[in-house]
């Protein structure tokens, strides 16, 4: 019979005496004692990395803020520089502005031009007003368009400027202020409300209900959101309707004599068209409707497009490959009821009709 080896005897003996368990515990304690400082160091390193990451994020935010402040400072300096230079250049023109900014004469000219413009109905009511402004005023208006640093600088392709300027060249401040206060509010607003009287009745029946037509006609109409718009190559505005609170959209083309007429406004017919279920800008294609291009209103000097914000859609595009220095200037504003009176009318509508005047977000939640 084969005798067991000493090693096997030792293992059997150690097992019987629970030596193996003891050795395992001892080894585990030893490794734990060795690893614990390492784990503590790793934990400390993780905290340091997190702290460093947070510090870097704060630093990036600070640097971005400094960069933005520097850009604003550069823009403000450029505005001051241009203001001084243009005030000197336009000194004689400013001195003669009183004869050009003749309110009565300008208002009469504008309203005659609007009244003489034929009302087109395909694909929705609109007019194209030729020679909207007196020639001498239009020339001064073109000269009054301020340089690029006065426009919002968030998007170089799409830049806007409020007509009521807080600071700028004297010619720009006075002429653009006259454009908004006198021409838009006193001349154009009442004239287009009268010109679109019949189409507005149909619109009121649609968005309020026939029983509210008389009350809708009593709503005070205002001109709002007036802005000078600068567009460059690469600009694209998909077919859309303006916010529902805007009954009429007025778009004045500030083209120069040599500007390309191709970059005007696209007029679309919308298949299976229906009223937007919310008040914000409505893009029919996003809701499954097909838009068919019907016509292009040319981008011509001293021409204004006015359309009823009821059906169909409009858009615009300037191809990326258009001439690099191309600039398209327009002045746009909306005509519609003042917010307080309109909101009071909406509150009195039937629930299903009132629901059509909620926000886009609320409308989406309701339909879920």
Q: Are 139 and 173 in contact (CB under 8 A)?
A: no
pTM of the model: 0.81
Q: Is the pLDDT of residue 361 over 90?
A: no
Share of the chain above pLDDT 90, in %: 74
Could you read off the pLDDT of 30-53 as tens digits, one per residue?
A: 666 666 776 777 777 787 778 767
Secondary structure, 3-state, 230-292 = EECCCCEEEEEECCCCCCEEEEEECCCCCCCCCCCEEEEEECCCCCCCCCCCECHHHHCCCEE
> What average pLDDT does the chain have?
89
72-76, 84-88, 274-278, 321-325: lowest mean pLDDT where?
72-76
pLDDT band for position 109 (cuts 50, 70, 90): very high
66-75, 118-127, 243-252, 285-294: lowest mean pLDDT where?
66-75
Could you read off the pLDDT of 221-242 as tens digits, one per residue?
A: 999 999 999 999 999 999 999 9
What are the residue ranges spanned by the domains of the chain?
Answer: 1-89, 97-366
Nearest to 204 by CA among 186, 185, 221: 221
What gap in Å lies between CA 222 and CA 55, rounded to an integer? 51
Mean predicted confidence (pLDDT) in 68-75: 75
Q: Are 312 and 270 in contact (CB under 8 A)?
A: yes
- 218 φ, ψ (degrees, to nearest 5): -90, -5
Share of the chain above pLDDT 70, in %: 85
- Third-level CATH fold of 97-366: Jelly Rolls (2.60.120)
Q: Is the pLDDT of residue 276 over 60?
A: yes
């Amino acid at each position: 019979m084969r005798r067991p080896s000493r090693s096997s005897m030792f293992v059997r003996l150690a097992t019987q005496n629970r030596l193996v368990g003891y050795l395992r515990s001892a080894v585990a304690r030893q490794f734990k004692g060795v690893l614990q400082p390492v784990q503590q160091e790793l934990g400390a390193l993780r905290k340091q990395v997190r702290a460093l990451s947070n510090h870097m994020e704060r630093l990036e935010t600070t640097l971005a803020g400094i960069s933005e402040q520097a850009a604003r400072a550069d823009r403000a300096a450029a505005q001051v520089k241009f203001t001084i230079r243009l005030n000197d250049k336009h000194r004689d023109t400013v001195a003669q502005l009183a004869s050009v900014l003749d309110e009565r004469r300008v208002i009469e000219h504008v309203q005659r031009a609007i009244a003489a413009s034929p009302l087109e109905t395909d694909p929705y009511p609109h007019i194209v007003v030729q020679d909207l402004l007196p020639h001498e005023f239009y020339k001064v208006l073109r000269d009054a368009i301020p340089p690029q640093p006065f426009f919002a600088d968030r998007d170089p392709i799409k830049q806007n400027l409020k007509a009521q300027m807080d600071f700028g060249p004297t010619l720009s401040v006075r002429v653009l202020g006259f454009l908004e206060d006198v021409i838009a509010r006193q001349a154009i607003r009442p004239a287009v409300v009268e010109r679109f009287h019949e189409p507005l009745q149909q619109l009121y029946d649609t968005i309020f209900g026939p029983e509210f037509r008389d009350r809708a006609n009593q709503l005070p109409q205002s001109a709002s959101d007036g802005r000078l718009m600068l567009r460059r190559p690469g600009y694209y505005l998909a077919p859309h309707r303006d916010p529902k609170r805007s009954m009429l959209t007025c778009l004045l083309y500030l083209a120069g004599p040599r500007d390309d007429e191709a970059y005007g406004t696209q007029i679309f017919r919308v298949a299976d068209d229906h009223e937007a279920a919310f008040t914000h800008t409505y893009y029919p294609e996003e809701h499954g409707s097909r838009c068919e291009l019907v016509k292009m209103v040319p981008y011509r000097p001293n021409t204004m497009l006015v359309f009823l914000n009821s059906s169909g859609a409009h858009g615009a595009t300037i191809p990326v490959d258009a001439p690099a220095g191309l600039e398209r200037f327009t002045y746009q504003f909306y005509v519609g009821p003042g917010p307080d009176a309109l909101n009071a009318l909406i509150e009195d509508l039937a629930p299903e009709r009132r629901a059509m005047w909620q926000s886009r977000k609320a409308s989406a939640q309701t339909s879920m």
